[in-house]
Each structure stands twice: as structure tokens, then as C-alpha cells.
Structure 1
Amino acid sequence: MQLFLISGLSGSGKSVALKALEDSGYYCVDNLPAALLPVLVENLHQTGNTRIAVSIDVRSGDSVKQLPHYIERLKQQGIDVHLLFLDAQTDTLVKRFSETRRRHPLRNALPPAQTNEGLTLPECVQLEREMLAEISNIGHRIDTSELGANALRAWVKDFKGVDRARITLLFQSFGFKNGIPLDADLVFDVRCLPNPHYDPVLRPLTGRDAAVIEFLERNQNVQQMCEDIRSFVERWLPCFIADNRSYLTVAIGCTGGQHRSVYLVEKLARCFKLQQQVLLRHRELGNTY
């Protein structure tokens, strides 16, 4: 049996992720109380369901804190369990709630003695983040701050398809003007390199276009930066593997996330694909490659 758990902050895209798995043939359950997870898995196992996706979050109340314990129990039973944790910047979550005029579900999840109608929306987000801190550390995190629904669906399908027995190297480009990705394990700043943005011909292109590639490959500093990052990741990757990591996200940022970071992510992915399982993300381009 394969079990995908979707968790994360309210407004981060859990419904979109769950729908993507449902479209891929998974039996899906939304907003399941964490305490009922073992019972659900046992019942579905008896009915022959082998691919299950379940969304669990703070609406479970205090039982959500026991989720790591339930996951460990299920793994001991031989069930292939994977947790996908969705996150986003606080201002992004506040904006999403403000646009939809929805009430933050945390107010309904708290016991009556703890409910505080005076909490602001940012305070609800912060409290929810604290309540889910332990869960976020045991799953694969995706920062949805700059993601549209289509991009998130593509990322979830990539996550579903990887080999869990091997570590996955995830190279991600981003623009510092939109903030550092919350899901990054290693962050490299390449804003010191020559910027194609200042060339009117190259400006509308990306780091995947031949003209930009040619421009960057002519520069010795760009090539040295690429080699230094490659050498650093190669040197320390065995330590992350020894730490039983399933994913290692290497984020490379330039100013806008269009040219330099995209070029370097593409080149580094090609270098490591010969030995490792590799995924690529270009946050500012809104696509997965």
C-alpha cells in the first residue's frame, strides 16, 4: 500500500495537491482527524485500495501532534508512507484569505478555552505554523508562495513519481526580489555574476535560451561559480544521504530568477543526472522541467 499524506498551512494549496493525486488514481480523503488515520488505512487495506492520499492539518486539533507517531507505526507495518508539507510566506497566505474572505480554520480548530476571536489573520498563520513545526520537519516541503495551481499540480506529480529508495536532488531557481524559497536546504546567491537583463536583446529571454546560454558560458566567473557549487554539493551529498534524507533542495537565486539562476540550475542538473535522481524547478518561470 502507498499512502500520501498532505499537510501544511491553511491556504497553501492542500486541496489542489489532493485533487492532483485524485486525478492520478488515488483514493482521497480530505480533512481527516489524525487519530483516525490508522483506522482508515486498515479499512481501505481490507477493501483492496492500495493507493491512498489523505489531507491532515490543524483542523484535527491536538491529535495532529501525534501524526509523526502514526506515520512511524504505519511504516513499521510495511506501508509506503510519504508526507508532503505545503508552506507559503505569511503575507501570501494573508492575501489569499483576504481575497477569498474566508475565515481562518484555526479559530474553529482550537478548543473553546483557547479560542481567541481577537487574533489577527497574521497571528493565526503564525500560531498554525508553530503547531505544525514538527510535521514540517519530517516531510518534503514545497513553498507555494509564487506558484499557480497548474505549477503546483505538476510539482506534486513529480513528487509522486520519484524513487523513494534513493535521495532526490532538487535544483530550484528563484529571484531574490520575491524572497528565498521556504523549502530550500542549500541557498546560493549568484547576483554577483554578469546579468543578461541589461542587454535589451537578452532581457525577454530566459536561461534556457541559446543566446543567454552563450552569453553566460563566455564568462569565466559564471563557469567558476558553477564548478564551485557542483563541487560543494558533490562533497557534502554523502552526509545528507547518511542522515536519511529523501530530498535535498538546492536553491540558486539571482535578482529576477529569469537568466543566471535558470542557466545554472539547468547545467547543474545535467551534471548530477548521470549519478543521482534529479528534479528541476524554475519558480519564477512557473514551470517544472
Structure 2
Amino acid sequence: MTDPQATAKAASLGLSVPASGEESTGRVVIVTGMSGAGKTLTLKTLEDLGYETVDNLPLRFLPSLVDAGSERPLAVGIDIRTRDFGADPMMAEIDRLVARGQHPSARPLDVRLLFLDCEDEVLRRRYTETRHRHPLAADRPLTDGIVHERSLIGPLRGRADVVVDTSNLPPGELKRILSGHFGLSSQPGLVIFVTSFSYRKGLPREADLVFDARFLDNPHYDPELRPLTGKNPEVAAYVARDPGFTPFFSGLKTLIAPLLPRFAAEGKSYLTIAIGCTGGRHRSVALAEKLAAWLGEEGERVHLRHRDLDEGGQ
């Protein structure tokens, strides 16, 4: 049965929730990654989505926990805090679970490894601001602890089914990404996330496809349009009047349309399309709005975000 409290909590966060009687069974998400990258929030979000969560589980107990056979999907946190942690033994155990779940006579298992990463400088800032102690920096500088941890868990990043970099990811966006990858919604298929961004502030690290709108006429240089954004009809019309806009957008649709069923067929559950301009305020916003609207008209499940809209720029 669906947990009513988990369903209500997930819905209040805008996350996907399972329909009654249609929850996924035999699903196991193993959460690991850099300390300070968001594992606590990730496990809490998965719990809100309907997962049974266990943190800091000794690796040797993982098979027994999976064998317990709960009807609820399982999310398990295993990282350097774990008593018997080791990247190689952990990968070997995951491979055994995957192989066992694929055996015809065994209970089917969908085992996925989620790796949470973050830039070293951002991790240093987070630990400094919160005054928390890094697990490997009790008797050494914080930087040394981060470097040592990265060397220990590096192989897991390459083995991971999903890697999420939280360096510039607000908590709300992390929750939406996790919902896209691991949500228990009865509605199958691909969830598409469209985001505008400013090249001045760097590429979105979670982006799968990136498109550059800087070739279009820039509304920033029109004094009447400068204070507005690409969400305003006047700005959208200005951008659309550029002679290059229509052929570019037509080509964009032609490029994206055949990719979506192929991504879905490969088992990809979440696709991020990023569109950038200089300041992330006018051209990229207008184009992202139009692209998201078209995807919605095509029947796709799409979410829209303007990463840098709240800050000024060209």
C-alpha cells in the first residue's frame, strides 16, 4: 500500500508520487559520494518519495537488508563513514546484487548507484560555514580530508548509474532531479528539465544538452527592454524577430524530437536541456520558455527553470 504520509509529503514538495498499488518493488538505490555534497538531503527526499531509507549501513549487511523483501523501495547510504567501507568491495557487492536480480529464478531487483559530487572549493565553504567536521579531517586540514576522500571514493563515480553535481544546485532543484531519476510515479517515460543560464556564471553541470543563444539580437541594448526579462511578451517578440530565430528554433525541434524516444528506450529517466546567453536574462529565457511550451504541447513531461534570472546581466 502507498504510505499516505509519504505521498502527502512528496506532493507538497512538488515531487512525483506513486499511484496506489503501483509502487515499484525490488528497487534499491545506493547513495554515496563526497561528504558535504548532500547525502542527508538526498536520503530525506527519497524517503519523501516513498523509499525506506537506511543511512551509514555496514556493507556486509546490505545483502541481508535487500533480502528482507520489503514492499517499499529501498535507499541505502554507504560512504566513508561506514565501518567496512571500500570502493572495490562496494562495487563487487553491487555487481553481485545486480547479477542476482537478473537471474530468472530470483526476485527481480533494480539496483542503481547514485553518486553525489561537489567541487572541492564549494565543499570547503560548506564545512567552514556550518563548522561541521569532515569525517577524514579530524587530525588534518580540511583540504587534506577532502582530497583523501576523493581518492578513496573516486572509482565509485565511474561505476555510478547517476552522478549529480550539487556545486551550484539549490535544494529544490536537487529534489526535482532526484524525483526525475528515482520517482515512483506510475507514469513512465522521460522527464525533461529545461533551464536557462548565464555563460558568465558557468555551464549547468547537470546539463545533458547545451545550446547557445548568444547569436541572437540582444534586448539588453534596448533601453525599454533592458529592465524586462525573456518572460515578458515584448522581449520574447524582440528575440523572435531576429532573422536567425525561426530557422534555429525549427532546427532545434528537428534535433531534439528524435532523441527523446531514443533516450527513453535506453532507460534514461531524466534529461536536462540548458540554453545560455550572456547574462541569462533575456535571450536564453525567451528561448527556454518557447522550447518548454513546445515540449509540453508534444505531450512530454517538462519542468522549466531560469537559473540566473534573479540576477542582472546582458
Secondary structure, counterpart of 2:308 in structure 1: helix
The aligned residue for residue 22 of structure 2 is none
Q: CA deviation at 1:34?
A: 4.0
Q: Is the 8 A contact 1:176 1:256 kept in 2?
A: yes
Q: Structure 2: how far apart are the matches of 1:170 and 1:150?
A: 13
Whether 2:165 is the aligned partner of 1:143: answer: yes
Q: Is the 8 A contact 1:8 1:57 kept in 2?
A: yes
Task: Give the structure with the higher percent helix.
Answer: 1
Q: Is the 8 A contact 2:30 2:76 kept in 1?
A: yes
Which of residues 23, 35, 54 is equivalent to 2:76?
Answer: 54
Q: Structure 2: how far apart are the matches of 1:153 and 1:197?
A: 33
Whether 2:151 is the aligned partner of 1:127: answer: yes
Q: CA deviation at 1:71?
A: 5.2
The alpha-carbon distance between structure 1 residues 200 and 130, as it changes in their structure 2 partners (threshold 3 A), is: farther
Secondary structure, counterpart of 1:184 in structure 2: coil
The aligned residue for residue 283 of structure 1 is 307
Q: Structure 2: how far apart are the matches of 1:261 and 1:121?
A: 39
The alpha-carbon distance between structure 1 residues 149 and 275, as it changes in their structure 2 partners (threshold 3 A), is: closer
TM-score, normalised on structure 2? 0.71
Q: CA deviation at 1:72?
A: 1.7
Q: Structure 2: how far apart are the matches of 1:196 and 1:145?
A: 30
Q: Is the 8 A contact 1:176 1:255 kept in 2?
A: yes
Q: CA deviation at 1:165?
A: 4.9
Q: Structure 2: how far apart are the matches of 1:154 and 1:142?
A: 12
Q: Structure 2: how far apart are the matches of 1:100 and 1:36?
A: 31
Secondary structure, counterpart of 1:284 in structure 2: coil
Whether 2:121 is the aligned partner of 1:91: answer: yes
Q: Structure 2: how far apart are the matches of 1:26 and 1:36?
A: 18
The aligned residue for residue 48 of structure 2 is 23
The aligned residue for residue 229 of structure 1 is 252
Which of residues 103, 106, 109 is equivalent to 2:133?
Answer: 103
Secondary structure, counterpart of 1:269 in structure 2: helix
The aligned residue for residue 6 of structure 1 is 31
Amino acid at match of 1:65: M
Q: Is the 8 A contact 1:146 1:284 kept in 2?
A: no
| Length, aligned pairs only | 275
Q: CA deviation at 1:19?
A: 1.4
Secondary structure, counterpart of 1:174 in structure 2: strand
Q: Structure 2: how far apart are the matches of 1:133 and 1:185?
A: 17
TM-score, normalised on structure 1? 0.76
Whether 2:294 is the aligned partner of 1:264: answer: no
Q: Structure 2: how far apart are the matches of 1:143 and 1:65?
A: 20
Which of residues 198, 202, 215 is equivalent to 1:192?
Answer: 215
Q: CA deviation at 1:148?
A: 2.5
Q: Structure 2: how far apart are the matches of 1:129 and 1:202?
A: 49
Cα RMSD (Å) of the superposition? 3.4
Q: Structure 2: how far apart are the matches of 1:222 and 1:198?
A: 18
Q: Structure 2: how far apart are the matches of 1:231 and 1:78?
A: 38
Q: Structure 1: how far apart are the matches of 2:281 and 2:60?
A: 45
The aligned residue for residue 98 of structure 2 is 72
Q: CA deviation at 1:269?
A: 2.6
Secondary structure, counterpart of 1:127 in structure 2: helix
Whose radius of gyration is greater, 1 or 2? 2
The alpha-carbon distance between structure 1 residues 168 and 23, as it changes in their structure 2 partners (threshold 3 A), is: closer
Q: Is the 8 A contact 1:207 1:261 kept in 2?
A: yes
Q: Structure 2: how far apart are the matches of 1:37 and 1:187?
A: 38
Instruction: List alignment gaps of at least 5 residues for structure 2.
Output: 1-24
Q: Is the 8 A contact 1:58 1:132 kept in 2?
A: no
